[in-house]
Amino acid sequence: MPELAKNESERPERYNPAQIEPKWQALWDADAALYAAEGHDSAKKKFYCLEMLPYPSGKLHMGHVRNYSIGDALARFMWMRGYNVLHPMGWDAFGLPAENAALKNNTPPKEWTLANIAAMREQMRRMGFSYDWATEVTTCLPEYYRWNQWFFLKMYERGLAFRKKSKVNWCPECQTVLANEQVIDGRCWRHEDTIVEQRDLTQWFFRITEYADELLQCLDTMDGWPEKVRTMQRNWIGRSEGTLVDFKVSESASPQVSESGEQQKITVFTTRVDTIFGATSVQLAPEHAVARALAACDLELAAEIEEMIEEQKAAREAGDVGAIEKHGVDTGRFAVNPYSGEQVPIWIANYILADYGTGAIMSVPAHDERDFEFAQKYSIPVKRVIVPANAADELPELPYTAEEGAVLAESGQWTGKSCVEAQREMAAFAKANGFGAATVTYRLKDWGVSRQRYWGTPIPMVYCENGHAAMHGSPAVEAGGVVPLPVTLLPVVLPEQIEITQQGGSPLGRVAEFVNTTCPACGGPARRETDTMDTFVDSSWYFYRYADAKDAAAPFATDKVNYWFPIDQYIGGVEHAILHLIYSRFWTKVMRDLGMIANSEPAARLFTQGMVIKDGAKMSKSKGNVVSPDDMIARYGADATRMYALFAAPPDRDLDWQEDGVAGISRFLGRVHRLATKYSEAASQQVSAPASQRSATEEKLLRALHQTIAKVTEDFSGRWHFNTSIAAVMILVNEIAGAEAAMDAGEVSPAAMGEIFRGLTLLLAPFAPFLAQELWAELGGEGAVFRAAWPEADAELARENEIEIPVQANGKLVVVVKLPAGSDEAAVKAAAMADAKVQARIEGKTVVKTIVVQGKLVNLVVK
């Protein structure tokens, strides 16, 4: 084979990513300054480009590759545009998988996690992602999580972290509590087959509801976020304006329902207080206090209530709350409508939720669909009190739920008023008379952060066994011996030597050295909190840490964060639209109120990329359709893999992974490599030729180049449709390849050659950084290609000198005529009419109208 080898070496070297990519990776790795941001005193404009940090599962998947290829292209582009770019990466490193792996492999969670991080960091380097590893953040290390504890204490001081006993979501698979946001259709977000149970537990919460209104209001002005995400967050917050109205439990029918003898009242929440004269019953949730009070002296009723509670529980666990059949029971008692003085029956119904509003409603069958249905079923009276504003209109069928264009009827002093006006006045009336008020309710609940797991941030609280509760300088001390640790005792370090078992309960509770401590207030014996924090705490503020990752004295320095924030572009999957993205908005507002930062929102712009699917389904192990990035790199190289991820679909849409497509990109890169290598000698000469002597080929190629520059530049600043940017670069390469004979014949000067190939290389740099770097060096470029200046589109060079004008007859294409660019309307019209095909088409007919759209087309209306 020596002969063959000789032949091979004489041929121009073929595109070989396996050789090019590791070479540049090593050179880039050796230069720590390459991807580093300048300090906050930089004269350049800053650009904070952020991709969502991954959970270190051990392997990158294609979703990651897509996410980071988008961010990396943007970061490199911004560098080339002269910005001071911060492009960091980190690890969302706490969480249950590490404990499961520990069980399975008998490896300590920390060891397992850190090994995964090392492997994934290596994969990212191999992909050529431009992260500044000097600012890397790993959430499971005490250098990071101590600040979770610090924030927890700050929030505790402000009453934003608190403990309460409540119904919580319990995943039997995770053996821990879940936040509401982590329960999807009654199932665990990590175990879609596992039904989440309800348990009564005392847990720590963050008072996110305190910020509900601000979280909602800011959404209106967050133009840089997708409307979809904003809508999802609005729905999740679920703000509802309405009125609270007290109905007194009627004395005549129920002399005494309260043991204290005090008269009971039922407070209902309604968004339609204007319909209250039509209320014909009051409906209570089975768990409502009054329902329980009534049941206390009525065994039959008590049994029915119990049944309803079970039914609601079962439905919630089945994730199918809407499906239970509505039914209720008449208690035989009455309540008094404070507006009309009417007595209405009190019912208990299975569809009333105890945890929304007040757990009680007024039922207005005439003007609410659900109430109407219920009233039909039990023959409860229906009373119309809302009619169309236009009295001439026929009375609409019931239930009539309109609010706009409707007025009140048979509603005392409010009769004839518009619904909207009546709502306002009636709420004010309730307040003035002490039986109610306008109010706002939210769907959003406080964020439960306690987890009965080991691998998370320890909560920095102790329970004093003396019940002691005073603490140095801290006013925030609860009764019952809950004592916050002083910040000087942070971090509370997670013990590393621990046996992971499948037993329930918090694993930390079994580590005596951890649990047993002394009360920082009285010095007496105390027990540590053994729950850990939800991992969403870690990811709620990690991107602030990047700005000052090594700070040992504070979570970060305010001036650094104020320079970098808000994040200019945040990129990640839409699956975090609610969870992470609402928690981190909350956290930002808390930090602002703590005086730590100036911004109220973390990210000016958010981009949610689509999923990567294969054969019509999301890639997953169970479907067996997972494509490994490592395989793709081995076969086609990192450049082809990441470029395909950008080419196959616009980034916001789902992407169907087709390996043939990656091969196609690889072929394209090979073509670029062949052409650039072939002409690199001529192109790297530093000569210039006068423009007046340009050959037709030069003009054509320069025109193509500058049109492509304009197109790609525009895509970066606008829609981010990199699929069309890459298509444009392909067209440019096709033009160059088509001019190969002319170039070989010497029709393109070295100066033009240099401009064309250097331009092409710079255009490729954000998408295929390795090849671009290789060619940049080959073409005589200095240093890192993505630190070279992005080319400017020259409009003069880009301009076409000939335009093609389609000529239509009645909107149908007849012919395309060619004209010199800039031809006026008359010339275009004349050229169109002079065409033989056009003549043939209009022969014997009358042209009734001629439409000429300058530079676009001609349409002849003929009859």
Partner RNA sequence: GCCCGGAUGGUGAAAUCGGCAGACACAGCGGACUUAAAAUCCGCAGACCUUAACCGGUCGUGGGGGUUCAAGUCCCCCUCCGGGCACCA
Determine, following the binding rule CB under 7 A, whether residue 228 of this chain makes contact with RNA: yes
Retrieve residue 431's tokens: 């307040």
Q: Is residue 649 close enough to count as binding RNA by CB under 7 A?
A: yes
For CA atoms 165, 166, 167, 173, give the dihedral sign: negative
Q: Least distance to RNA from the beta carbon of 724, Å? A: 5
Among positions 92-151, residues that touch RNA (CB under 7 A) are none
Least separation in angstroms between CB 210 and RNA: 18
Nearer to RNA, 550 or 812 (CB): 812
Residues 693-712 that bind RNA (CB under 7 A): 711
Residue 203 or 713: the one with the smaller Cβ distance to RNA is 713
Nearer to RNA, 394 or 802 (CB): 802
Q: Could you tell me where the DSSP H helices lie in 517-637?
A: 535-538, 542-545, 558-564, 579-593, 629-636
Which of these ranges, 486-494, 517-525, 666-674, 791-799, lies near RNA under the rule CB under 7 A? 666-674
Answer for which of 26, 134, 184, 696 binds RNA (CB under 7 A) is 184
Write out the binding residues for RNA, residues 410-449 only, by CB under 7 A. 443
Residue 694 or 711: the one with the smaller Cβ distance to RNA is 711
Least spacing, CB of residue 477 vs RNA, in Å: 35
Q: Does 240 bind RNA (CB under 7 A)?
A: yes
Helices (H), 225-298: 227-237, 289-295
Instruction: Give the DSSP H/E element, type plus range, for residue 165.
Output: strand 161-171
- Say how far apart CA 179 and CA 578 lie, in whole Å: 12
Range in contact with RNA (rule: CB under 7 A) among 204-212, 344-352, 536-544, 635-643: 344-352
DSSP 3-state assignment of 722? helix
- Segment near RNA (CB under 7 A); pick from 158-166, 190-198, 683-691, 724-732: 724-732
Q: DSSP code of 389?
A: S
Nearer to RNA, 144 or 447 (CB): 447
Q: What's the closest the beta carbon of residue 578 comes to RNA, in angstroms?
A: 6
Least separation, in Å, of the C-beta of 353 and RNA? Answer: 4
Question: CB-wise, 185 or 251, nearer to RNA?
Answer: 185
Residues 478-507 that bind RNA (CB under 7 A): none
Contact letters (x/-) for RNA, 291-330, by CB under 7 A?
A: ------------------------------xx-xxx----
Both tokens of 323, joined, read 């499906």
The answer to whether 734 contacts RNA (rule: CB under 7 A) is yes
Quick one: tokens of 679? 């002409």
Is residue 574 part of the contact set for RNA (CB under 7 A)?
A: yes
- CA 736 to CA 759: how far, in whole Å? 12
Q: Is 631 in the site for RNA (CB under 7 A)?
A: no
Closest by CA to 316, choosing from 282, 272, 286, 275, is 286
- Residue list 346-375, contact with RNA (CB under 7 A): 350-354, 356-357, 359, 361-362, 368, 370
Contact between 194 and 173 (Cβ < 8 Å): yes
| Residue 544 and residue 144 in contact, taking contact as beta carbons nearer than 8 Å | no
Is the CB of 149 or the CB of 182 nearer to RNA?
182
> Counting contacts by CB under 7 A, is residue 738 touching RNA?
yes
Closer of 439 and 474 to RNA (Cβ): 439
Which residue carries 């981009």 as its tokens?
607
Answer for the pair 288, 249: CB distance below 8 angstroms, yes or no: no
Closest distance of CB 360 from RNA, Å: 7
**Which of 29, 478, 804, 825 touches RNA (CB under 7 A)?**
804
Question: Taking the complex as a whole, how short is the minimal distance between the CB of residue 651 and RNA, in angstroms?
Answer: 9
663 binds RNA, rule: CB under 7 A? yes
d(C-alpha 781, C-alpha 686), whole Å: 11
The distance between the two most distant Cα atoms of the chain, rounded to a whole number of Å, is 112
Tell me how far CA of residue 833 lies from CA of 508, 815, 818, 837, 845, in angstroms.
88, 11, 13, 9, 13
Tokens of 734: 């096709």
Rounded distance, CA 566 to CA 544, Å?
10
Q: Residues 242, 520, 566, 766: which binds RNA (CB under 7 A)?
A: 242
Closer residue to RNA (CB): 124 or 809 = 809
Residues in the chain: 863
Cβ neighbours, 10 Å, residue 752: 24
Size of the site for RNA (CB under 7 A): 84
Residue type, 288: H
Contact between 607 and 652 (Cβ < 8 Å): yes
Q: Which stretch binds RNA (CB under 7 A): 34-42, 544-552, 689-697, 853-861?
A: 853-861
Pick the binder of RNA from 34, 141, 201, 232 (CB under 7 A).
232
CB of residue 562 vs RNA: minimum separation in angstroms?
Answer: 33
Nearer to RNA, 554 or 727 (CB): 727
Distance CA 19, CA 33 (A): 24
Q: Give least dist CB 583 to RNA, A.
A: 14
Pairing of strands 360-363, 281-284: antiparallel
User: Is 374:366 a contact under the CB 8 Å cutoff?
Assistant: no
User: Given candidates 718, 782, 836, 844, which one binds RNA under the rule CB under 7 A?
Assistant: 718
The amino acid that residue 421 corresponds to is E
Q: Stretches 88-96, 117-125, 334-342, 643-651: which one binds RNA (CB under 7 A)?
A: 643-651
* Residue 861 contacts RNA per CB under 7 A: yes
Q: What residues numbered 58-97 form the site for RNA, per CB under 7 A?
A: none
Residues of span 258-297 touching RNA by CB under 7 A: 269-272, 285
Q: Are strands 847-853 and 857-862 parallel, antiparallel or unpaired?
A: antiparallel
Q: Which of 730, 798, 819, 833 binds RNA (CB under 7 A)?
A: 730
Alpha-carbon distances of 646 from 62, 366, 411, 613, rounded to whole Å: 12, 55, 63, 14
CA atoms of 759 and 698, how far apart (whole Å): 14
Smallest distance from RNA to CB 544, Å: 27
Site residues (CB under 7 A) for RNA, limited to 811-850: 811-813, 816, 837, 849
Find, among 402, 433, 406, 422, the residue nearest to 337 by Cα.
433
- With contact defined as beta carbons under 8 Å apart, do 445 and 425 qualify? no
From the list 37, 65, 643, 648, which residue makes contact with RNA (rule: CB under 7 A)?
Answer: 648
CB atoms within 10 A of CB 818: 9
Element holding 796 (H helix, E strand): helix 795-798
CB of 714: closest distance to RNA in angstroms? 5
- Answer for which of 188, 655, 772, 817 binds RNA (CB under 7 A) is 655
